[in-house]
Amino acid sequence: MRRRKRKNRNLIKIIISLIILVMVAGYFIVSKSAENTRRAEARRADEEAAEEAAQQQAEEEEMEQARLEKIEDEKGQWYLILVNNQNAMPDDFDIETVEVEDGYYIDARVHDALQEMLSDCREAGYYPRLISTFRTRETQQYLYDHTANKADTAIPGHSEHECGLAADIIDADSLGWADPLIDEQEDMPAQQWLMEHCQDYGFILRYPKDKEDITEIIYEPWHYRYVGKEHASIIKDNGICLEEYLENMEDYYQAQ
Ligand SMILES: [Zn+2]
């Protein structure tokens, strides 16, 4: 009787041990499989993130490519033509001029912008006056031949006035000056308004102060050149001249 009891106790011990063993083994198996699942999920997440990053990079490269192509395209547009002492206006440059006012003519594509700028300036209470816009080659030659300082006047064939894209505008109150085309023109009220707002109409002050080394033309706080609103704003915001802009356009131009 006592023997059987002991036998039973041993059996129970064995069974309990077996149960514990099975539970421990089960625990390890379950936790191992959970670990594997976690790892697989983490790997999948990594792969998805890498795929997303690669796709994003591809999209960025595509956008950059499109931006560079747009820059090349813009550089070929008539309104960004570079005409200076080193760059003559092309022989085939197409010009059709129309009168703005008082017998002053400008490229037909620039007409509305110039007229709007002048009219808004007047509405603001100022007196802008055109004194030179489109010039024929003969006029440019005459001016060049008769100028004392050759840095005052562009070489014939190299003037934005011949392209019909530039307008010299002064404050009417300076008409009585011996020569209104001097630095003091920048202090005149109409001129200050124009210098502050010209980019909103697509114009830039083409020959800024401190850029004479690059433009090879003296500071001219009266010569406005049409480049289109988008480019005029960028040029103004960065305090650069047209030469600098065209040379490093990819640093400045963000495609819209
Ligand atoms: Zn001019």
The 10s digit of each residue's pLDDT in 201-230 is 999 999 999 999 999 999 999 999 999 999
Q: pLDDT at residue 5 above 80?
A: no
Looking at residue 51, its pLDDT comes to 96
Looking at residue 12, its pLDDT comes to 87
User: Could you tell me the distance, in angstroms and rounded to a whole number, from the CA of residue 193 to the centre of ligand 1?
Assistant: 18
Q: pLDDT at residue 30 above 90?
A: no
Whether 230 is catalytic: no
User: Cα–Cα distance between 79 and 49 in angstroms, integer?
Assistant: 45
Q: pLDDT at residue 1 above 60?
A: no
Q: pLDDT at residue 42 above 80?
A: yes
Report percent pLDDT > 70 for the chain.
Answer: 98
Residue in 61, 138, 220, 247 annotated catalytic: 220
Looking at residue 140, its pLDDT comes to 92
User: Cα–Cα distance between 157 and 88 in angstroms, integer?
Assistant: 6
pLDDT digits (tens, 9 = 90+) for 80-116: 999 999 999 998 888 899 999 999 999 999 999 999 9
User: Could you tell me the distance, in angstroms and rounded to a whole number, from the CA of residue 168 to the centre of ligand 1?
Assistant: 5
Categorise residue 193: left if φ over 0, alpha if ψ from -120 to 50, beta otherwise: alpha
**Hunting for tokens 């010209």 — which residue is that?**
198
Q: pLDDT at residue 57 above 80?
A: yes
Q: pLDDT at residue 56 above 90?
A: yes
Most confident of 19-23, 134-138, 190-194, 251-255: 190-194
Joined together, the tokens standing for residue 219 give: 């500071």
pLDDT band at 11 (very low <50, low <70, confident <90, very high): confident
User: Could you tell me the distance, in angstroms and rounded to a whole number, from the CA of residue 114 to the centre of ligand 1?
Assistant: 14
Report percent pLDDT > 90 for the chain.
Answer: 79
- State mean pLDDT over 239-245: 98
User: Could you tell me the distance, in angstroms and rounded to a whole number, from the CA of residue 221 to the centre of ligand 1?
Assistant: 9
User: Could you tell me the distance, in angstroms and rounded to a whole number, from the CA of residue 79 to the centre of ligand 1?
Assistant: 16
222, 181 Cβ separation under 8 angstroms: yes
**Hunting for tokens 């300036």 — which residue is that?**
121
Question: Mapping DSSP to helix (H, G, I), strand (E, B) and coil, where does residue 242 land?
Answer: helix
What are the domain boundaries of the chain? 1-75, 81-252
Buried b / exposed e along 91-109 (16+ C-beta atoms within 10 A): eeeebeeeebeeebbbbeb
Please tell me the least confidently modeled range out of 22-26, 60-64, 245-249.
22-26
Closest of 253, 255, 242 to residue 79, by C-alpha = 242
- Span 81-252: which CATH code? 3.30.1380.10
212, 218 Cβ separation under 8 angstroms: yes
User: Could you tell me the distance, in angstroms and rounded to a whole number, from the CA of residue 254 to the centre of ligand 1?
Assistant: 29
Looking at residue 2, its pLDDT comes to 62
Cα dihedral 220/222/225/231 (nearest 10): 80
User: Could you tell me the distance, in angstroms and rounded to a whole number, from the CA of residue 123 to the centre of ligand 1?
Assistant: 24
Closest of 140, 112, 137, 132 to residue 203, by C-alpha = 112
pLDDT digits (tens, 9 = 90+) for 77-89: 999 999 999 999 9
pLDDT band at 117 (very low <50, low <70, confident <90, very high): very high
Q: What is the mean pLDDT of the chain?
A: 94
User: Could you tell me the distance, in angstroms and rounded to a whole number, from the CA of residue 170 to the centre of ligand 1?
Assistant: 11
pLDDT band at 256 (very low <50, low <70, confident <90, very high): low
Please tell me the least confidently modeled range out of 11-20, 22-31, 158-167.
22-31
